[in-house]
Amino acid sequence: MNLTTIDWLIMLLYFVFVLGIGFALKRFMKTSKDFLQAGRALPAWICGLAFISANLGAQEVIGMGASGAKYGIVTSHFYWIGAIPAMIFVGVFMMPFYYGSKARSVPEFLRLRFDEKTRAWNACSFALMTVFSSGISMYAMARLIQTLHVFDKLFIHLGLPLDWIFHFAIILSAVIVLCYIFLGGLTSAIYNEVLQFFLIVAGFLPLVWVGLKNVGGWSGLKASLPSAYMHSWQGMGSSHTNPLGVDWFGLVAGLGFVLSFGYWCTDFLVIQTAMAANSEESARRVPLIAAIPKMFFPFLVILPGLIAIGTPMVTRHVMGQAAPVGMTATTSGSENLSAGRGLIPAKVDPVSGKIMLDTQGQPVLDYDLAIPNMLLHYFPTGILGLGLTALLASFMSGMAGNVTAFNTVWTFDLYQSYINKGASDAHYLKMGRWTTVVGILISMGTAYVVLGFNNIMDTLQLVFSIVNAPLFATFLLGMFWKRSTGHAAFIGLVSGTLAAVLHHGLTVPAATATGIHGGWLHVVHVYPSAMALNFYQAIFAFTVNFVLTVLISLVTKPRPESELVGLVYSLTPKPVEHHMAWYARPSVIAVGLLVLLVGLNLIFK
Amino acid sequence: MSLDLRIPMGLMFLIIGALLAIYGIFTRGSEIYSRSAGMDINLIWGIVMLVFGLSMFLLGRRGDKHPKAPPVEGTARPLGH
């Protein structure tokens, strides 16, 4: 990596502004509400962009680019089927309850609607998951900085050992995120998420443009790729005829319904940004505003993956000769490119230094390098700094969202509810502030644990998927069925989680050893792919939770209806829309979004 | 909240855009642009970012001078507990 002054200058400018925003916001942080809920005073467009940005961590950017290179356009299902319908649903139907109930967090809504134990379960599992995923984000960033040799020259120049780069990256990101959250709380996190949103667009749009131009436009890209890469629905009839290894039912029900609604409608990481909006109307518009860019994000993050595969060998050789002396590695892992495909190098065994081969003797490709290599290949110095800054920004804001969500859930749902009840607001503000430090420290700890144990990342991601899978059934029944009770919700939720654990223990993806990937109890079913296992596991967990909650609700005593006003759909007056211009009404925006969604799927079917 | 995000964000994009554009002018025709399909991407994209940053900044300044009217009365619904 050959960075020059201009690249460093851009990166530095970004950090200055990030911290500057934190300092500028400090004087507005007077109450715990200001700090943990952004004072509930932000405009809808800011919250809307933060809503998708909170989810757009670099793992997402890198991962989607990687899937784009591996599977093609079919990856866009994670955006279209796997996000848009859920975002529309949460905006139109669920936000009035989150915002209108005056709950300060998603677990607190569960206490208002159900009872203390359901809240405690959700608050604990959520708080743990947020700090762990923040740690994973931190680890991933430090590894990427190492792989791309971003700081190598700087370290050599200063005479420091290169092994310290990992620690340096961890500490640098921790300090920056800590500073701006400690100073400006959720507002600061949201503002920086918006900043990151625009940076990602500014960094990736020229990448797609230059990349497409280089491979001969859309038609050139199409010609250079296998035809299966360009379709999102072809072969979805059976799990054996499409690259994902999932059939359409698993995709639509597992990803499109259970997982996506479970995430976008219940995860406080994203919901916190909508709950920070300045009115219920704004809060309802937040996910809808977010859905518009979300729909087009595949062109920004998945398309570079496709272009990376489609970039022909010839340009690479020309490039290699044109590179000035001393620029040994124009793209990361260039020595393995000859065994790779397009810009994707083959994976190298870190111990033996040899190219890793799969069971058929084909080289294993390192798809995670699709986006970084695209940046290095197509961007000259100057704009390269911008691209890298965008990548770093997305890592940090992914961490920041997790840390603020942890702050709120810890302070309001655990500390204030179970440890220290009647303290002053100033005390909770202080608690919220200092929880930031604890949250960041746990994240750093997680990052080092992930570094030390190979399997821990897979394990954590497995735990996330198990805990998240049944959640949506609880919220769905809570908001739309007044008969559902607290005991039922709690038993349903716990059983749903256990069902997911059991399902994982009894099934395994094809051609995979039993253990961390499934089948550790006894193998009763083999899924065609890990993705299929994950989707069906979610369907099972959801169904168990749903059925049990309904059955137990019928035999337990419901709460009086008067207590449920504002919490359940049928007992709450419908939001008024008639005073808004027709195009600003959530229902109209929702229909428009659905039409666009169908249109995009038809174009890329 | 009395800090309009559009002002610092506009400023950031303005400065980065200007930096890129100026760098692009000085490196016109340089070999580094063989990477970006022969386009002076620094100059082009610098100008795009500069224009975006400037419009954000101006919008933020205007918004600061004309505070928004409070939300229409009677649109808040009865709340739960």
Write out pLDDT tens, residues B1-43.
Answer: 568 888 999 999 999 999 999 998 888 877 778 777 778 888 8
Contact B42 A14 (CB under 8 A): no
**Residues A377-419: tens digit of each pLDDT:** 888 888 899 999 998 888 888 888 899 999 999 998 898 888 8
Residues in chain B with CB shorter than 8 Å from the CB of A46 are 5
Question: Mean of the pLDDT values across residues A421-428?
Answer: 86
pLDDT for residue A568: 86
pLDDT category at B70 given cuts 50, 70, 90 is low
**Contact B11/A at CB under 8 A:** yes
- Using the predicted structure, report yes or no on whether residue A198 has a pLDDT greater than 90: yes
* Residues in chain B, total: 81
pLDDT for residue A324: 34
**Contact B1/A at CB under 8 A:** yes
Residues A482/A281, Cβ–Cβ less than 8 Å: no
User: Of B6, B9, B11, B40, which to mutate for an interface test with A (greatest number of A Cβ within 10 Å)?
Assistant: B9
Residues A162/A356, Cβ–Cβ less than 8 Å: no
pLDDT category at A315 given cuts 50, 70, 90 is very low
Instruction: Tell me whether residue A237 is exposed, middle or buried, using C-beta atoms within 10 angstroms of its C-beta: 0 to 12, 13 to 18, 19 or more.
Output: exposed
pLDDT for residue A313: 53
Average the pLDDT over each of A173-187, A488-502, B19-33 and give the range with the smallest value.
B19-33
Average the pLDDT over each of A16-25, A110-119, A341-350 and give the range with the smallest value.
A341-350
- Using the predicted structure, report yes or no on whether residue B54 has a pLDDT greater than 80: yes
Residue A319: Cβ within 10 Å count: 17
CA distance B37 to B45: 14
Of A324, A383, A579, the CB nearest to B72: A579
Question: Mean of the pLDDT values across residues A257-261?
Answer: 86
Contact A210 B41 (CB under 8 A): yes
CATH number at residue A126: 1.20.1730.10
pLDDT for residue A578: 76
Determine the 3-state secondary structure of A267 from DSSP: coil
CA distance A435 to A440: 8
pLDDT category at A542 given cuts 50, 70, 90 is very high
**Residues A569-581: tens digit of each pLDDT:** 888 777 777 777 7
Mean pLDDT of chain A: 83
- Using the predicted structure, report yes or no on whether residue A593 has a pLDDT greater than 80: yes
Size of interface A-B (CB pairs under 8 A): 135
- Using the predicted structure, report yes or no on whether residue A441 has a pLDDT greater than 60: yes
Place of tokens 């925003």: A21
pLDDT for residue A253: 84
- Using the predicted structure, report yes or no on whether residue A332 has a pLDDT greater than 70: no
- Using the predicted structure, report yes or no on whether residue A430 has a pLDDT greater than 70: yes
CA distance B50 to chain A (A): 11
Place of tokens 């497409």: A212
Place of tokens 């940090």: A396
CA distance A183 to A191: 13
If you write DSSP's letter for every residue of A144-184 in order, what string do you get? HHHHHTSSHHHHHHHT--TTHHHHHHHHHHHHHHHHHHHHH
Question: Mean of the pLDDT values across residues A165-189?
Answer: 90
pLDDT for residue A339: 63
- Domain membership flag for residue A441: yes
Helix (H) or strand (E) segment spanning residue A507:
strand A507-509
**Residues A27-50: tens digit of each pLDDT:** 888 888 888 888 788 888 889 999
Question: Mean of the pLDDT values across residues A279-304?
Answer: 88
- Domain membership flag for residue A82: yes
User: Of B42, B47, B48, B73, which to mutate for an interface test with A (greatest number of A Cβ within 10 Å)?
Assistant: B42
Q: Which two tokens stand for residue A108?
A: 């607190």
A residues 546-585 lying closer than 8 A (beta carbon) to B? 563-567, 572-573, 575-576, 579
Across A65-139, the runs of DSSP E, i.e. the strands, are: none
Q: Which of A479, A475, A478, A471 is nearest to A495 (CA)?
A: A471
Question: Mean of the pLDDT values across residues A340-351?
Answer: 73
Average the pLDDT over each of A82-86, A196-200, A237-241 and give the range with the smallest value.
A237-241
Residues A94/A233, Cβ–Cβ less than 8 Å: no
CA distance A516 to A115: 34
Contact A380 B33 (CB under 8 A): yes
- Domain membership flag for residue A31: no
**Contact B32/A at CB under 8 A:** yes
Map out the domains of chain B as residue ranges: 6-65
**Contact B26/A at CB under 8 A:** no
pLDDT for residue A492: 93
User: Of A18, A191, A194, A383, which to mutate for an interface test with B (greatest number of B Cβ within 10 Å)?
Assistant: A383
If you write DSSP's letter for every residue of A315-350 in order, what string do you get? HHHHHHHHSPTT---SSTTGGGGGGSBTTBPBPB-T
Q: Which two tokens stand for residue A602?
A: 């038809």
Average the pLDDT over each of A172-186, A227-241, A503-517, B39-53 and give the range with the smallest value.
A227-241
pLDDT category at A229 given cuts 50, 70, 90 is confident
Contact A210 B39 (CB under 8 A): yes
Contact A194 B9 (CB under 8 A): yes
pLDDT category at A321 given cuts 50, 70, 90 is very low
CA distance A226 to chain B (A): 24
**Contact A379/B at CB under 8 A:** yes
pLDDT for residue A314: 43
- Using the predicted structure, report yes or no on whether residue A284 has a pLDDT greater than 50: yes
Place of tokens 């796997």: A82
Contact B45 A319 (CB under 8 A): no
**Contact A210/B at CB under 8 A:** yes
Contact A565 B78 (CB under 8 A): yes
User: Of B33, B39, B45, B56, which to mutate for an interface test with A (greatest number of A Cβ within 10 Å)?
Assistant: B45
Q: Which of A233, A302, A243, A362 is nearest to A79 (CA)?
A: A302
Instruction: Tell me whether residue A527 is exposed, middle or buried, using C-beta atoms within 10 angstroms of its C-beta: 0 to 12, 13 to 18, 19 or more.
Output: buried
Contact B42 A382 (CB under 8 A): yes
CA distance A345 to A66: 12
Place of tokens 């290599």: A373
Of B8, B31, B80, the CB nearest to A566: B80
Contact A6 B41 (CB under 8 A): no
pLDDT for residue A552: 93
- Domain membership flag for residue A238: yes
**Contact B35/A at CB under 8 A:** yes
In angstroms, the Cα distances linking A558 to A14, A113, A359, A563 are: 53, 11, 57, 10
**Higher-pLDDT residue of A301, A58:** A301
* A504 strand-pairing partners: none
**Contact B39/A at CB under 8 A:** yes
Average the pLDDT over each of A195-209, A361-375, A529-543 and give the range with the smallest value.
A361-375
Place of tokens 């219920």: A280
Contact B8 A21 (CB under 8 A): yes
Q: Which of A393, A245, A367 is nearest to A309 (CA)?
A: A367
pLDDT category at B47 given cuts 50, 70, 90 is very high
Average the pLDDT over each of A324-333, A428-437, A544-553, A558-567 and give the range with the smallest value.
A324-333
Place of tokens 């029944």: A477
Question: Mean of the pLDDT values across residues A545-570?
Answer: 89
Determine the 3-state secondary structure of B15 from DSSP: helix
Helix (H) or strand (E) segment spanning residue A525:
strand A525-527
pLDDT category at A605 given cuts 50, 70, 90 is confident
pLDDT for residue A554: 92
* A525 strand-pairing partners: A507
Contact B34 A318 (CB under 8 A): yes
Residues in chain A with CB shorter than 8 Å from the CB of B42 are 380, 382-383
Place of tokens 């780069």: A165
Contact A10 B16 (CB under 8 A): yes
- Using the predicted structure, report yes or no on whether residue A370 has a pLDDT greater than 60: yes
Contact B77 A187 (CB under 8 A): no
How many domains would you assign to chain A? Answer: 1
Contact A6 B35 (CB under 8 A): no
Contact B8 A17 (CB under 8 A): yes
Residues in chain B with CB shorter than 8 Å from the CB of A573 are 77-78
- Domain membership flag for residue A508: no
Average the pLDDT over each of A71-75, A197-201, A349-353, A485-489 and give the range with the smallest value.
A349-353
pLDDT for residue A240: 67
Q: What is the ipTM of this complex?
A: 0.84
Q: Which amino acid is at A267?
A: D
Place of tokens 């000859």: A338
**Contact A274/B at CB under 8 A:** no
- Domain membership flag for residue A35: no
Q: Which two tokens stand for residue A120?
A: 């405690």
Contact B41 A379 (CB under 8 A): yes
pLDDT for residue A338: 60
**Contact A191/B at CB under 8 A:** yes
Residues A260/A81, Cβ–Cβ less than 8 Å: yes
- Using the predicted structure, report yes or no on whether residue A566 has a pLDDT greater than 60: yes
- Using the predicted structure, report yes or no on whether residue A336 has a pLDDT greater than 70: no
Determine the 3-state secondary structure of A357 from DSSP: strand
pLDDT for residue B72: 52
Give the range of the structural domain holding residue A84, as residue numbers without chain letter.
Answer: 5-21+41-310+373-452
Of A20, A278, A377, the CB nearest to B35: A377
**Contact B16/A at CB under 8 A:** yes
- Using the predicted structure, report yes or no on whether residue A545 has a pLDDT greater than 90: yes
CA distance A480 to A571: 9
**Residues A152-167: tens digit of each pLDDT:** 888 888 888 888 888 9
- Domain membership flag for residue A580: no
